[in-house]
Amino acid sequence: NWTTGNVIEEQVEAIRELVGDKRAICGLSGGVDSAVAAALVQKAIGSQLTCVYVDHGLMRKGETEQVEKDFVAATGVQLKVVDAEERFLKALAGVTDPEEKRKIIGREFIRVFEQAQAEIIADEGPAVEFLVQGTLYPDVVESGGGTGTANIKSHHNVGGLPEDLEFKLIEPLRKLFKDEVRMVGQELGLPDEIVQRQPFPGPGLGIRIVGEVTKERLDLLREADAIAREELTAAGLDRDIWQCPVVLLADVRSVGVQGDGRTYGHPIVLRPVSSEDAMTADWSRLPYDVLAKISTRITNEVRDVNRVVLDVTSKPPGTIEWE
């Protein structure tokens, strides 16, 4: 008999038993999954948990601040923030292949973690033996984790882990679907802002730039993404759509005209989807006036973008993310 109360009780008990008097660290990604996983573990072991937020420079506008302020306020969790933007950009320089990007981001992520872990271990206290991850059931299935399903993409929180991983994993959401995770988060007292947040991939904007990831392109995509999110929220559509990746086709250019001049800029793709669990999805039939507003604002306000296109592909055959 599945209830959120049961799930929480069961997990809290299991986590306490597993961790004992040791300590755990948890990476916060800014998304609902890691937030709920962390809150659950925090409930179980309190100050034996330290959260680490790796700012890999691939976050959307305002996300770092949201983790630092809102999540900490809601949970009272111990948080260590690591600014690793330069390191990630260096590692990603010249890389265009999606799987390569995912592997690099996953690898660097773990390395930064190990550094943070070393620093936390150096503090007084019991051994840090555990790493908390917000892996969901669909992640497990799509990565072929014990189900025999073919690997579709290497989700960095499942398949991208390096061999030399030193932690034991705690994955309290491994049996849950997204809607169940939201219910658990709500039950744990997390604010709506976090619980109702739309999913965002671990590799962040790094897999929403088709082409090489650079600081300049990231800044450009952050602006376009912020506009799309702002307008979707203003139109009251946040709960109607599952998520809306905004993608920069950095390797594509098209001709446009702005003011008196010809432009040769990049297209931005809007990928609004509706879904129950991200395993399948349909493209969202957004109102034309909302699409028009987003398009006008992005082409007016974001330098080097002269075209906005809409992705009208369901999943399957298209995945939600472009990479």
Q: Which two tokens stand for residue 173?
A: 């959401």
In angstroms, rounded to a whole number, what is the distance separating the alpha carbons of residues 226 and 174? 31
Give the range of 4-12, 110-118, 197-205, 286-294 binding ligand XMP by CB under 6 A: 197-205
Q: Which is nearer to ligand XMP, 23 or 271 (CB)?
A: 271
Distances in Å between the Cα of 263 and the Cα atoms of 71, 249, 285 are 42, 16, 30
- 31 in a known ligand binding site: yes
Residues in the chain: 323
In contact, 174 and 145? CB cutoff 8 Å = no
CB of 132 to ligand XMP, least distance (A): 14
Q: Which is nearer to ligand XMP, 19 or 268 (CB)?
A: 268
The number of residues that bind ligand XMP (CB under 6 A) is 15
Single residue of 32, 228, 250, 278 touching ligand XMP by CB under 6 A: 278
- 35 in a known ligand binding site: yes
CB of 16 to ligand XMP, least distance (A): 26
229 binds ligand XMP (CB under 6 A): no
Single residue of 30, 57, 185, 202 touching ligand XMP by CB under 6 A: 202
- Preceding amide of 287 cis, omega within 30: no
Q: Which is nearer to ligand XMP, 19 or 55 (CB)?
A: 55
Cβ-proximal residues to 63 (8 Å cutoff; 6+ apart), any chain: 30, 200
CB of 311 to ligand XMP, least distance (A): 12
Q: Which is nearer to ligand XMP, 57 or 201 (CB)?
A: 201
In angstroms, rounded to a whole number, what is the distance separating the alpha carbons of residues 239 and 236? 8
Window 82-141: residues binding ligand XMP (CB under 6 A): 102
Q: Which is nearer to ligand XMP, 180 or 321 (CB)?
A: 321
In contact, 35 and 63? CB cutoff 8 Å = no
CB of 217 to ligand XMP, least distance (A): 19
In angstroms, rounded to a whole number, what is the distance separating the alpha carbons of residues 272 and 238? 10
Q: Which two tokens stand for residue 89?
A: 């950009």
CB of 58 to ligand XMP, least distance (A): 11
**Positive or negative CA dihedral for 164, 13, 190, 172?**
positive
320 binds ligand XMP (CB under 6 A): yes
- 34 in a known ligand binding site: yes
- 14 in a known ligand binding site: no
SS3 114: helix
Angle at 94 between CA 305 and CA 210, to 5 degrees: 40
In contact, 95 and 101? CB cutoff 8 Å = yes
Q: Which is nearer to ligand XMP, 231 or 321 (CB)?
A: 321
Window 156-185: residues binding ligand XMP (CB under 6 A): 156-157
Single residue of 101, 155, 217, 271 touching ligand XMP by CB under 6 A: 155
Q: Amino acid identity of 168?
A: K
What phi-psi label fits residue 97: left (phi over 0), alpha (psi between -120 and 50 degrees) or beta? beta
| Residues of the shown chain interacting with ligand XMP in the complex, contacts defined by CB under 6 A | 102, 153, 155-157, 199, 201-203, 243, 278, 315, 319-321
Residues at the binding site for ATP are: 29-35
